[in-house]
Amino acid sequence: MLHPSHFASVVLFAFFASIVFGITQRETPRRMVRYGIYCFVLFVGSAVALSWAMYLIAR
């Protein structure tokens, strides 16, 4: 059975959510792709930043 790590789950969620956001929030294909990439980077970047913050607080 497949057991992805937490980070893999975050990346998978960010990927699919970014696709949906890109398609529903922009009009042209070029803007859809750019916004999707932007959302993906923000999702993953904020997850990494928050996880480091929680790690440092817990220490």
pTM of the model: 0.87
> What's the Cα-to-Cα distance from 11 to each of 7, 27, 29, 30, 34, rounded to whole Å?
6, 25, 22, 22, 17
Q: What is the pLDDT of residues 8-45, one digit of tens each?
A: 999 999 999 999 999 999 999 999 999 999 999 999 99
Report whether 39 contacts 22 (CB < 8 A): yes
Report whether 26 contacts 40 (CB < 8 A): no
The whole-number average pLDDT for the span 43-57 is 96
Check the CA dihedral 53-55-56-57 and report its sign: positive
Report whether 42 contacts 17 (CB < 8 A): no
Q: What is the CA radius of gyration of the chain?
A: 14
